[in-house]
Structure 1
């Protein structure tokens, strides 16, 4: 029986996650769209100086895309910048690339996640505007993508016993087993990476909020966001199957190259 022809897509909200060279004049794009999820597109002739899409198909920019075709890699038909904000720069640009890498590693192609798309759009906007702490934006999105992918355990229950968390007790997040009560006998390392039950309960409440991204930004501010970095990193590495995310390693390499004390400004013009 003949395979049903896929309908052509018009004016789909989307972001470019990554670009690969396909030929001297064309690119393969990995895009994240609201109603179709991750999609691979070939952008023919887009590298030519005369291409109208050359300056449009950039990461971390809200776009409207059109495409068609029945192959695994569809053909880009139209692309328009939706407007709304400028591209993040500096460390926030690398943070945005990190969010893109999470989407590429944790989501399958052609699997729609419209709520996660909206959270991603909010996260990119927050990074571009620079009014929120970068670490809080990253932690909030990490929690949301893990939940959307079905990889985040309940944060209000001790997973082995299904007992409700005690606010004053401490629990560590284990990739294989979820939240586990931490005892003094577990050693200083386990205690160091454990968070209080009150902290985990606050995060679960933020996830259950009607506007979870905004609620998680508040919940991940300051010391709590810093304490979450290690357990969330372990969970992401475990489920993505990678030891080090490339964008995170790039961030660390750049920071090592920066001088500890910036040079004094020269008096010369």
Structure 2
């Protein structure tokens, strides 16, 4: 890798303090993959970096050095969407956690970078339902890393799935016929439609549409694959969402104070 990189399309996945005035940035670049950068003086009120180095918005970065942690030289926002807010912000942090856990340093995935750009833009605009955006990116991420089994055939065989038969996706074995009571199972027509979308000329937009009939079933099955390959049981951002939801659910009064809950 060249020690000098200029005007590189990037996103900031995570940042943490380094010394009293600087930050370490975990960035994802289009042509160089995940790169760690030190932004010297970025915490100072007068720093030119301070208003720019925000997550979930497109940036152009310059850096130099050939050490494991390079030095940020310049940063600017080229325009486009701004950061998502509210629930969309948490969804964006979830995408960032996936990339931090599953991508190795200095390994470029240009197509996946473009898919991430589309996903973050959809989250910021808030027009498309967030679950559809998340499932689409999960599918494309798993496919890019070689962890998504074929979705148009049964297991690892050449036998095509039946359109009306329900199937469940397994991390290593691919699709298998669902057992009684497996509510997350999806019909073969949905799985095959997603496979065609992934193979098409516009995989993000096509997969976004193909996911819609199976959103409820896709979520637990894709989460199983992601947990399996990441080695974690619960993603931190997922736990954060659960904690927030627990804080916003009103407490149920004791049965004695609630006529409908009293036992006779």
Q: Do they superpose with TM above 0.5?
A: yes
The CA deviation string for residues 156-200 of structure 1, in whole angstroms up to 9 with x for no partner, is 111243311111112111112111123xxx442xx3222111110
Does 2:86 correspond to 1:96? Answer: no
Separation in structure 2 between the aligned mates of residue 260 and residue 11 of structure 1, nearest angstrom: 49
3-state SS in 2 of match to 1:163: coil
> What RMSD, in angstroms, separates the aligned Cα atoms of the two structures?
1.4
Separation in structure 2 between the aligned mates of residue 160 and residue 48 of structure 1, nearest angstrom: 56
The CA deviation string for residues 91-114 of structure 1, in whole angstroms up to 9 with x for no partner, is 000000001011111111101011
From 38, 44, 47, give the equivalent of 1:42. 38
Q: CA deviation at 1:225?
A: 1.1
Separation in structure 2 between the aligned mates of residue 144 and residue 209 of structure 1, nearest angstrom: 12
- 5 Å-filtered alignment, 1:62-81, equals 62-81=58-77
Q: Mark the runs of 5 or more structure 1 residues left unpaired by the alignment.
A: 262-269
Q: CA deviation at 1:259?
A: 3.8
- 5 Å-filtered alignment, 1:167-178, equals 167-178=163-174
Which residue does 1:151 correspond to in 2? 147
Does 2:191 correspond to 1:208? Answer: no
Which residue does 1:84 correspond to in 2? 80
Separation in structure 2 between the aligned mates of residue 41 and residue 193 of structure 1, nearest angstrom: 42
Separation in structure 2 between the aligned mates of residue 245 and residue 259 of structure 1, nearest angstrom: 21
From 202, 213, 229, give the equivalent of 1:239. 229
Q: Mark the runs of 5 or more structure 2 residues left unpaired by the alignment.
A: 252-264
Distance 1:35 1:160, change over 3 A: closer
The CA deviation string for residues 20-69 of structure 1, in whole angstroms up to 9 with x for no partner, is 11111111111111101111111111111110001100100100001111
Which residue does 1:230 correspond to in 2? 220
> How many residue pairs end up in the alignment?
251
Find runs of 4+ consecutive structure 1 residues off by over 3 angstroms.
Answer: none
Which residue does 1:53 correspond to in 2? 49
Separation in structure 2 between the aligned mates of residue 8 and residue 62 of structure 1, nearest angstrom: 20
Which deviates more from structure 2 when the two are superposed, residues 212-221 or residues 196-205?
Answer: 212-221
